[in-house]
Structure 1
Amino acid sequence: MTALDHAAAVPCGDDARPGRTLRAALRRAAPALLAYAGTRLVGLAVLAIWGAVADRSPHQLLAARWDSLWYTRIAEQGYGYTLRLPDGSIHSDLAFFPMLPALERVISAISPLDAAGAGLAVSCVTSLLAAWGIFAVGDLLHGRRVGTLLVVAWAVLPVGIVQSMAYSESLFTAVAAWAVYATLTRQWLAAGTLAALAGLTRPVGAAVVAAVWIAAAVELLPGGRWRRARRTDPELLAGVVLAPLGWLAYVGWVGFETGSATGYFEIQSGWGNGFDGGLAFAGFIGGMLTGPGFPAGLALLTGVAALLWLFARGVRQGQPLPVLAYCGSVLVLALTAKGYFCSKPRLLMPAFPLLLPLALALARLRPARTALILGSAGLGSALYGAFWLHGSGPP
């Protein structure tokens, strides 16, 4: 039995059974979605109270700082803005993938919202869709209780406030989670289309492509479903072809605009981004461990070790290959990037399968204890989110 066959053989939620309606699927996911919405509302309430005391606007903190300003500018004026910093570095808006600003532009054109408000609306809706997709994956693999706990664990991440910001994390996670679900359930056209959309949303869309391609490779291996169900071949091949088109289209367009086949990567280099196998990140941690920032460096090193342990735990628990491929790709891309080290927690947010071992552990506890743990984590996340956005915040 292949990994995909194992995933399909696990008892599924109602939403995974043929003939079930969207209403039935939503009803099954309702507890997870309500818990998620409640967690996010607590986070926003704490942010609003903190903002009232500090005389800061929550709207400005959520939609008019850092990357959200770049998305808004693209939505309103299109691409073409470049910022030259005193140190000589060049920041071009071509570093930002087009899906979020395109949605902001459309929504602001057909509604009373401006581009920044449209960005918040996109995050609000897509964070719920992301929660639903995460639930669907957890429910498919381990049942409804684990799916619900997986969603809440994602909601209470320390940087969970980003899920409510005019950033692309919620949009990307929604597309990626449903792409993984479609891959696990062998809905190849949907998986390929969603992977293409993920590739138009963030550079890490390549991780979704990896999940689709590895799942397809399993199907094509001797003994795979390919040999047993020839009628699925055209859909599988179409999904494989569709999956990378979004990512390739944007990177290719940037290459055309810049006159260089490697134009997108040169622009990322101007931002101080790129991939060096994790050498710069290791040096950053090493510098903290050998200086006055030792406690923070030790905490960061512990966090990285915990992430690697969670991934290894997922491997030992037999998570399907597409899940591991997606999660592992996000993990590798985040940890081996050489810039914006403080952004790594939010860059890792789409790697929701890392939380599956925690959800399984929580499912074995008594409900009261589970509620206490997650409730405490949710309150801590809300307080940290407000503190974070009123301080350095996400770059």
Structure 2
Amino acid sequence: MTQQFDVIVVGAGLVGAFCALSLARASDLKIAVVERAAPVPAEFPRNQRVVALGPLACNCLAEADVWRGQERHVAYPYQAMAVWDEHSDGQLDFAAVDYGLTELGHMVDSIACTRLLQQQMEQQSNITSFYQFDATALQNSRRGATLIGKQETLSGHLLVAADGAQSWARSQAGIFSQRTAFEQLAIVTRVRTQESHQDTAWQCFLSTGPVAALPLADNQSSIVWSLDKSAAEPLLNASDNEFADRLSAALGRRLGAVKLRAPRATFELNSQRAERYFNGAVVLLGDAAHSIHPLAGQGANLGFKDALQLVSLLQHSQGEALADPVTLARYQRRRKTDNEQTDWLMRALNQAFRVDVPWWQLLRGKGMNFISGTAPIKAALARHAMGIEHHQ
């Protein structure tokens, strides 16, 4: 038996769950949320990797009543950013107070936040969740999409693919995605530092890749250290004490001695961009449409902006109009340029700071200091880092 819905959202992660919840609250559309995994349990291991959400995304979560008094357990506000170059005197500093804000954003435990979003979805009468859904096929046309599973079949006027960078739904919809491997690994862990992190996100650009210390509660920090694969191997094989000392040195000893508070984990760095954001009744969202280098922490912010744009275009639509190609083309036009420009910028920065030629290092430092002393350019960079540019 086929169950009928207006919209099917494939993926109940951070961005997919937010999109489904936002659309449900903004309309009376009947929505199915499909997730391959089980829902996030009440007891789950602390996440070593956090996402940096800017004011736009954080305000959206607050307006959707997601926090419900749990914000301090899920998100840690940061007031400043300090970015510098290992091989020059170049430095950029950003402070929330300079922009009339109380914080630049929050470091968010993505698993904990996803659990809160999933709990909120269960409170929406127009959302039906299907966890541990084993999809076997997707039938797609401009008239609608049908998701066939081993146990159930779901049909909708529109299917939103929010199932990540390796999106099954994107592949089934026949949308090509170009993948670029950076030949780098990111080492992630959680540490406590001797010196206060001062509610500041610290990032140093090394010739092997950037290292970032992202502030958390109890003077702990989430570490994201991106390196060439050859440089990562010795660090992964090092003892905890040796790794901690190497990390402290990479951060210029600015945070003093470092103590590990979690095991080290790794993930490969790559980017991918979909050739188009829709085909038939399937539209892509978040990492299913684009994934970028994590050096500026913009991936989740881009996904939230995708969701906001899509919801604003769909909330007053009904029936087959939900997959109107004019509407979906408008969504693609409004989001694809922003996403691809950000991807290009992250690639350019990643390459620019890996060049060891002395004259380039000198020029790079002068460029950073010029930006630091030029208020309009610095403010534009700050807005980009906070994810608060115009998102329409």
> Fold conserved (TM > 0.5)?
no
TM, length-normalised to structure 2: 0.28
TM, length-normalised to structure 1: 0.28
Which of the pair is proportionally richer in strand? Answer: 2
Which of the pair is proportionally richer in helix? Answer: 1
